[in-house]
């Protein structure tokens, strides 16, 4: 606005008078944004799951979560399953086992990967088989340090049944051999 030619000399003082209030309005706006609760600043990306066979009742969902401020994933649900649990995979002797955990910490600014062989969301009692190319809707509940909760809507892409990881691993030929098809 300052580079525009001013047609009338007398318009200059009124513009200058407007400036301070404009600036304070802008400052108020920025401060308002900074004061947003942590839960409004959690984002999810690359959510995916695998196609399932008809008898399969569970499926793992993988994604990356990132929170600007410290927060915690505490709950998840989906219209595609009776329940969604937060799981972790851990070695028990030399057997990889999964177990439900009450929540997953999302440290400020640090991406958290939910991936095969690690943390994942588990769809429990699928209502119908997941078919490649579909998207599974999920609702995640994240809690900030101040205790406030907000839900985050995510759509997980259904990849081929043999998918083993994110990115370019579509159709990895050894997917079934790992024996972790449900995760
Ligand atoms: Cu699991």
Q: What's the gap in Å between 67 CA and the centre of ligand 1?
A: 23
Residue 182's pLDDT is what?
47
Q: What's the gap in Å between 66 CA and the centre of ligand 1?
A: 21
Q: What is the pLDDT of residues 98-142, one digit of tens each?
A: 999 999 999 999 999 999 989 999 999 999 999 999 999 999 999
Say what the pTM is.
0.69
Sequence ranges of the domains in the chain: 39-178
Residue 41's pLDDT is what?
83
> DSSP string covering 34-72, please?
HTS-GGGGEEEEEEEEE---TT--EEEEEEEEEESS-EE
d(CA 182, CA 58): 6
Residue 91's pLDDT is what?
86
Q: What's the gap in Å between 81 CA and the centre of ligand 1?
A: 13
Within 8 A by CB and 6+ apart from 89, the residues are 96, 97, 98, 117, 118, 119, 120, 183
CATH code for the part of the protein at 39-178: 2.60.40.1890
Q: What's the gap in Å between 58 CA and the centre of ligand 1?
A: 8
Q: What's the gap in Å between 129 CA and the centre of ligand 1?
A: 17
Q: What's the gap in Å between 83 CA and the centre of ligand 1?
A: 12
Residue 154's pLDDT is what?
97
Residue 90's pLDDT is what?
85
> Could you say which residues of the chain have pLDDT below 50?
1, 8, 11-14, 16, 18, 32-39, 168-182
Residue 92's pLDDT is what?
87
Q: What token pair was written down for 75?
A: 């709950």
Q: What's the gap in Å between 173 CA and the centre of ligand 1?
A: 22
Residue 131's pLDDT is what?
97
């Amino acid at each position: 606005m300052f580079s525009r030619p001013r047609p009338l000399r007398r318009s200059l003082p009124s513009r200058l008078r407007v400036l301070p209030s404009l600036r304070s309005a802008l400052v108020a706006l920025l401060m308002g944004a900074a004061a947003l609760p942590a839960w409004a600043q959690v984002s999810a990306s690359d959510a995916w799951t695998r196609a399932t066979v008809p008898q399969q009742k569970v499926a793992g969902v993988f994604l990356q979560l990132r929170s600007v401020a410290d927060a915690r994933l505490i709950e998840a649900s989906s219209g595609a399953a009776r329940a969604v649990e937060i799981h972790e995979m851990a070695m028990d002797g030399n057997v990889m086992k999964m177990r439900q955990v009450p929540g997953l910490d999302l440290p400020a600014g640090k991406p958290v990967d939910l991936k095969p062989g690690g943390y994942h969301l588990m769809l429990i009692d699928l209502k119908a088989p997941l078919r490649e190319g579909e998207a599974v809707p999920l609702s995640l509940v994240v809690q900030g340090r101040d205790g406030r909760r907000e839900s985050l809507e995510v759509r997980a892409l259904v990849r081929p049944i043999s998918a083993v990881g994110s990115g370019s691993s579509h159709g990895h030929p050894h997917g079934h051999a790992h024996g972790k098809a449900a995760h």
